Amino acid sequence: MTEFVQVVKGVPLVSTLDIAKGFEVEHFAILRLVQKYEPQFQSLRTFHFQSQKSGGRPTTFCMLDETQAMFLVTLMRNSEVVVGFKVRLSQEFTRMKTELIRLASQSQNAEWLEQRKAGKETRVLTTDTVKVFIEYAKGQGSQNAQKYYANISKMENGALFLLEQQYKNLRDMLNIHQLSTVKSADQIVIKALRDGMDKGMHYKEIYKLAKVRIESFAEIIGKTMIPASQLQIESK
């Protein structure tokens, strides 16, 4: 199931684009309702219309909080599709609020904080090793070696987790077990890169070696789900 409620500056919000999609109507119809009753919407929470461009003309939209979204759905005529999405919308906001409470509690948990700290220390070692590997790759003629910082992280995350969306600070969203898993994966990557460089292997083969070891590790422990409820937090 596609998740559509996001957290922006600590507030669960939904885009009018996603609302239109959920109600199976043209977006302009949703936007027209918001614009018609803008004073009422603004009285609930101040917001600004935004625009995004994807190929054609820019599309105007806005992000609504739970109260605004619920007000909007009262303006819609009921149909099987509309009623069904109303239920989903309500469930999404409830789930997201519950997840925010869980994450707030987790961030105060001593065991989680210790595991996160240990993970950060290992991550620093990983970053240092990747930096050495990048210079190694450049020495062998690589023109895009800098991409290995992102590529190795994506490779790890893709092997270890079932991701339903992108996360700004993925590791802050992980539970204690997942933090332990990713720490072990970082150690595996460090060992693979060092082994490959010590043997004088080609940088592409070294990356493949790290990938194979991570995939073998993931196969043993299994992938775990990071639901979209574990947030897409935007800073702006």
Single-letter code of the amino acid located at 23: F
pLDDT digits (tens, 9 = 90+) for 69-112: 989 988 888 888 888 888 888 888 887 777 676 666 666 677 77
Residue 33's nearest CA partner among 88, 80, 86, 71 is 71
pLDDT digits (tens, 9 = 90+) for 4-53: 888 777 788 899 999 999 999 999 999 999 999 999 999 998 988 988 87
For residue 136, how far is the Cα from the chain centroid? 31
Average pLDDT, the chain: 85
pLDDT digits (tens, 9 = 90+) for 145-193: 999 999 999 999 899 988 765 666 777 778 888 888 899 999 999 999 9
Per-residue buried b or exposed e for 45-80, using 16+ beta carbons within 10 Å of the residue's own CB: eebeeeeeeeeeeeebbbbbbbebbebbbeebeeee
Return the pLDDT at 156. Answer: 92
